[in-house]
Amino acid sequence: MSETKAPSNFIRQIIDRDLAEGKNDGQVATRFPPEPNGYLHIGHAKSICLNFGIAESYGGSCNLRFDDTNPEKEEDEYIQSIKQDVQWLGVQWNGEERFASNYFDQLYDLAVGLIEKGLAYVDSLSPTEIAEYRGNFTTPGKPSPYRDRSVDENLALFEQMRDNKLDEGEAVLRAKIDMQSPNISLRDPILYRIRKKTHHQTGDKWVIYPMYDFTHPLSDAIEGITHSLCTLEFEDHRPFYDWVVENTAVPASPRQYEFARLNLNYTVTSKRKLKQLVDEGHVDGWNDPRMPTISGLRRRGYTPASIRTFCESVGVSRADSVVDMGMLEAAIRDDLNQYAPRAMCVMNPLKVVIENWEEGKEESLIAPVHPQNESMGTRQVPMTREVYIDREDFREEANKKFKRLVLGDRVRLRYGYVVRATDVVRDAQGEIVEVRCTYDPDTLGKNPENAEDQGKMRGVIHWVSAVKGLPCEVRLYDRLFSAANPGKGLEEGQSFLTHINPESLTVLDECWVEPGLRGALAETRYQFEREGYFCVDQDSTEERLVFNQTVGLRESWPKEA
Partner RNA sequence: UGGGGUAUAGCCAAGUUGGUAAGGCAGCGGGUUUUGAUCCCGUUAUUCCCAGGUUCGAGUCCUGGUACCCCAGCCA
Catalytic residues, by residue number, are 35, 261, 271
CB of 541 to RNA, least distance (A): 27
Question: Who contacts 116 (Cβ-Cβ below 8 Å, separation ≥6)?
Answer: 151, 155
Cα–Cα distance for residue pair 32/2, rounded to 1 Å:
19
Comparison of 84 and 185: residue with beta carbon closer to RNA:
185
Comparison of 69 and 154: residue with beta carbon closer to RNA:
69
Cα–Cα distance for residue pair 300/535, rounded to 1 Å:
7
| 394 neighbors 404 (Cβ within 8 angstroms) | yes
Cα–Cα distance for residue pair 405/482, rounded to 1 Å:
33
Answer positive or negative: Cα dihedral of 268, 274, 278, 284. Answer: positive
For β-strands 418-426 and 410-413, DSSP reports them as antiparallel
Across the beta sheet with 98-99, the strand order is 29-32, 61-66, 98-99
- Start-to-end C-alpha separation, the chain: 43
CB of 404 to RNA, least distance (A): 5
CB of 12 to RNA, least distance (A): 8
Question: Who contacts 124 (Cβ-Cβ below 8 Å, separation ≥6)?
Answer: 146, 157, 170, 171
Q: Coil, strand, or helix at residue 346?
A: strand
Comparison of 193 and 300: residue with beta carbon closer to RNA:
193
CB of 173 to RNA, least distance (A): 10
104: left (phi over 0), alpha (psi -120 to 50) or beta: alpha
Comparison of 410 and 412: residue with beta carbon closer to RNA:
412
Cα–Cα distance for residue pair 449/46, rounded to 1 Å:
55
CB of 406 to RNA, least distance (A): 10
Q: Which of 395, 101, 427, 120 is nearest to 247 (CA)?
A: 120
CB of 337 to RNA, least distance (A): 5
Cα–Cα distance for residue pair 270/474, rounded to 1 Å:
29
Comparison of 395 and 468: residue with beta carbon closer to RNA:
395
Comparison of 330 and 466: residue with beta carbon closer to RNA:
330
Cα–Cα distance for residue pair 553/78, rounded to 1 Å:
34
DSSP 404-437: SEETT-EEEETTS-EEEEEEEEE-TTS-EEEEEE
SS (H, E, C) 11-33: HHHHHHHHHHCCHHHHCCEEEEC
- List the helix and strand counts (H, then E) for the chain: 12, 27
